[in-house]
Amino acid sequence: MPGKRALSSSLGALTKRKKVINASSSSVATVKVENTENGNGLQLEQIQTSCGTNEFNGAFKESIDSPKVKIEVESESRPNIFPKIDPVDSVKGPPGWAQIYNEIVEMRSKFLAPVDSQGCESMPNTITPGLKHSDPKKYRFQLLISLMLSSQTKDEVNYEAMVRLDNGLRKSHSGGFCLEAMSQLSVSEIDSYICKVGFHNRKAQYIAKTCQILKSEFNGDIPNSIEDIVKLPGVGPKMGYLLLQAGWGINSGIGVDVHLHRLALLWRWVSTKATTPEKCRLELESWLPPKYWRDVNPLVVGFGQVICVPRASNCDICAIGRKGLCPGANKKLLKGPVSEERKIKLMKQRGDLTALINQYL
Ligand code: SF4
């Protein structure tokens, strides 16, 4: 069912021909722009979603010059819209990989996972809607901090720590959650904000040190090369590539986290020699066309958070299992029958699986 959402009641004068519109979820259909001063309405010429980034990009047919602008989106109820694999791109790579990828795209269009709103890339925009475009430098800094907090920590816990930092720094500094404000905190103060994330003591030290380095060596911004990023304490290649993609729009590698690593091995997208995320990244990059490098992380991570969860995969509602594409499918679960207890368990996953439960059970 389509739904209507007002995105903003005052976005400032839209005097340019192109404007990026931020929204808090990634569904899209029709966007209407209305000048609330004189009632004139404008339609967008085109709308594209930038998958996983929760953005809409659209070009206006004409400009609108008013500080009072209302934007409404009549959206399809599709939580995620990731592009499928172009058939010409499926030739290279392990057998059947594109079919699996496309099934995940279908499934991900039916549920939201923690990564979609509380993953590192989305988090700064979830906390401060539109931050990526209103203040890209601050967005990059918050993205870096969320990535530094993310290792060995669930997105939900990481998000809570980021909200605590945001609330605290807004009170203590006029610039809010920015490098300047964070630089003024001692290690123990940083630690008190992030105390629920894994390895918080060490991460607090890394963050304090990183703030000094950013100020002294990078003019208060995040470096824009992987070589410089991985020199920051506590920052590895996975974080680095995601930071470059989301923070600078530079697509120079795949961010491989534990979910992508685990599932790439399961589906034989990589060989058994890919024993580390870094080895997995190199193997994936050897055949996956670069245009999918950015999507593959949030696509697969959300799937791994909600459907193919470690040690308790939900094969009975997984299209990959149902279609006989998965070498690791749990045959007992696929055979059924499905008990009420099982359905209750499925409803307790980290995302709303109603659509898939209705489809398969
Ligand atoms: S069939 Fe089961 S093991 Fe295979 S991808 Fe789906 S949930 Fe994971």
Closest among 74, 77, 85, 84 to 111, alpha carbons compared? 77
pLDDT one-digit tens code per residue, 252-297: 999 999 999 999 999 999 999 999 999 999 999 999 999 999 999 9
Contact 247, 146 (CB under 8 A): no
Q: CB under 8 Å to 279, separation ≥6 — which residues?
A: 270, 273
Q: Is the CB of 239 under 6 A from ligand 1?
A: no
> What is the phi-psi region of residue 154: left when phi exceeds 0, alpha when psi lies from -120 to 50, beta otherwise?
beta
- Kindly provide the b/e burial profile for residues 123-155, where b requires at least 16 CB atoms within 10 angstroms of the residue's own CB: bbbbbbebbbeebeebbbbbbbbbbbbbbebeb
Nearest CA to ligand 1 atom 8: 308
Mean pLDDT taken over the chain:
84
Q: Is the CB of 85 under 6 A from ligand 1?
A: no
Q: Is the CB of 274 under 6 A from ligand 1?
A: no
Q: Is 94 helix (H, G, I), strand (E, B) or coil?
A: coil
Q: Which two tokens stand for residue 49?
A: 């979603």
Q: Is the CB of 305 under 6 A from ligand 1?
A: no
Residue 27 pLDDT exceeds 60: no
Q: Is the CB of 264 under 6 A from ligand 1?
A: no
How far apart CA 145 and CA 148 sit, in angstroms, is 5
- Mean pLDDT throughout 289-309? 97
Specify the residue for token string 């380095």: 213
Q: Which two tokens stand for residue 78?
A: 């599709």
CB atoms within 10 A of CB 209: 14
The domain spans of the chain are 3-75, 124-252
Q: What is the CA(44)–ligand 1 centre distance, in A?
A: 40
Confidence of residue 337 (pLDDT cuts 50, 70, 90): confident
Q: Is the CB of 317 under 6 A from ligand 1?
A: no
Mutation to probe ligand 1, out of 308, 316, 322, 346 (largest number of atoms < 8 A from CB): 308
Contact 284, 296 (CB under 8 A): yes
Based on the residue annotation, tell me whether 238 is a catalytic residue of this protein: yes
How far apart CA 31 and CA 29 sit, in angstroms, is 7
Q: What is the CA(320)–ligand 1 centre distance, in A?
A: 6
Q: What is the CA(313)–ligand 1 centre distance, in A?
A: 6
Q: What is the CA(254)–ligand 1 centre distance, in A?
A: 22
How far apart CA 23 and CA 40 sit, in angstroms, is 22
For residue 37, what pLDDT is reported? Answer: 54
Specify the residue for token string 């990535």: 147
Confidence of residue 5 (pLDDT cuts 50, 70, 90): very low
Closest among 42, 136, 103 to 318, alpha carbons compared? 103
Q: What is the CA(321)–ligand 1 centre distance, in A?
A: 5
Contact 72, 61 (CB under 8 A): no
Closest among 87, 204, 214, 198 to 152, alpha carbons compared? 198
For domain 124-252, give the CATH number.
1.10.340.30
Q: Which of 238, 279, 291, 335 is catalytic?
A: 238
pLDDT one-digit tens code per residue, 70-115: 555 444 445 788 999 999 999 999 999 999 999 999 999 999 999 9
Closest among 211, 153, 150, 206 to 177, alpha carbons compared? 211
Confidence of residue 226 (pLDDT cuts 50, 70, 90): very high
Instruction: Give the torsion sign (CA, 63, 135, 50, 88).
Output: positive
How far apart CA 151 and CA 139 sit, in angstroms, is 19
In the chain, the largest separation of any two C-alpha atoms, in whole Å, equals: 64
